Structure 1
Amino acid sequence: MSKTPDWLAQFVAFYNQLNSKNLATLETVYDTRVQFIDPVHSIQGRDALQRYFQHAYERLNYSRFEVKHAVGDEERGFLSWQMQFAHPAIGGGQPQLLDGCSELVRGADGKVHYHRDYYDLTQLVYQHVPVLSWMTAKVKQKMAQA
């Protein structure tokens, strides 16, 4: 897996234009039986994924992905990325950064049938909730001393 295949670049471009008004275009990228997993959700099927994104994108002010590294072949790809986004319920609606990576697996038809995102939920949510932020910092501090 040395050269980054075009489909990974196209996948990122797709996500960077995705919004609540064009979610029907998910059918061009995802298989009907796609399995989508992230630290909060495990979703089975493109229709369920579209409903999840509909809810998420309706509340986002904006989101943008910058790929840091990409590697893959025609079947499987891995992306490390940074998402910049603004959400009214996180950080007072100010721009936020979230670092993560994605594992993608495509079928013979070229559509993604497995998509797993890995990211630090602390960076996304917990650090913005005062009590949880404090507790998370204390746990990390104790772990660093162990």
Structure 2
Amino acid sequence: MSQTDSPRMEEAVTRVVAFFEQLAPASVADLGRIYAPDARFKDPFNEVRGVQPIQQIFAHMFEALDQPRFVVTGRVVQGQQCFLTWDFLFAFKNFHRGEPQTVRGASHLVLDAQGLIVLHRDYWDAAEELYEKLPVVGALMRWLRRRAAQ
């Protein structure tokens, strides 16, 4: 990749970050504007290929959680790869209602020559960031963590 392409990738990453920070139920249908048709997505719970399955993951997020949103806290762009750090803010619908929750994580993105995401891999600790916040499972996870630390 030449030096002249670098500003174009920076612009593409800026567009991707803005899209995710403004993501809303109505904009899930527009994910094809930032993902390539055959894009791959993987997180601790999902592994899918294609825009429609990716849309289903984000649509489910809005159905399952109250006011989910992403805040990108850092980024590194090198060639066609990007690493984003983020806070995912939300509230559970079924318990701890209205209590703000935060999951901290990171995404590795690979973009194509058109600036579309071809690979999106999320990294976050499901045990620490999610399971420990759940009523029954959380108590078990906290107990296991204490036992492991002894």
TM-score normalised by structure 2 residue count: 0.84
Q: How far apart in 2 are the matches of 1:41 and 1:87?
A: 19
Compared with structure 1, are the counterparts of its residues 134 and 71 closer, same or farther at alpha carbon in structure 2 (3 Å cutoff)?
same
Q: Of residues 69, 73, 77 in structure 2, which corresponds to 1:68?
A: 73
User: Displacement, 1:115?
Assistant: 0.2
> Is structure 2 residue 124 aligned with structure 1 residue 119?
yes
Per-residue CA shift, 1:17-42, capped at 9, x if unaligned? 21211222111100111110000111
**What is the RMSD computed on CA atoms of the aligned residues?**
2.1
8 Å CA contact 1:80, 1:100 repeated in 2: yes
8 Å CA contact 1:5, 1:73 repeated in 2: no
Q: How far apart in 1 are the matches of 2:130 and 2:94?
A: 9
Q: How far apart in 2 are the matches of 1:93 and 1:136?
A: 23
Per-residue CA shift, 1:31-80, capped at 9, x if unaligned? 11111000011111111111222222233321232222210124000011
Q: How far apart in 2 are the matches of 1:20 and 1:88?
A: 16
Corresponding residue for 2:145? 140
User: Displacement, 1:133?
Assistant: 1.4
Q: How far apart in 1 are the matches of 2:124 and 2:95?
A: 16
> Is structure 2 residue 18 aligned with structure 1 residue 13?
yes
> Is structure 2 residue 105 aligned with structure 1 residue 108?
no
Corresponding residue for 1:83? 88
Amino acid at match of 1:79: L
State, as a whole percentage, how many aligned pairs show the same letter.
31
Gaps of 5+ in 1: none
8 Å CA contact 2:38, 2:50 repeated in 1: yes
8 Å CA contact 1:5, 1:74 repeated in 2: no
Corresponding residue for 1:33? 38
Deviates more, 1:53-62 or 1:34-43: 53-62
8 Å CA contact 1:83, 1:97 repeated in 2: yes
Amino acid at match of 1:69: G
Compared with structure 1, are the counterparts of its residues 38 and 143 closer, same or farther at alpha carbon in structure 2 (3 Å cutoff)?
same
8 Å CA contact 2:21, 2:72 repeated in 1: no
Aligned length: 143
Q: How far apart in 2 are the matches of 1:28 and 1:74?
A: 20
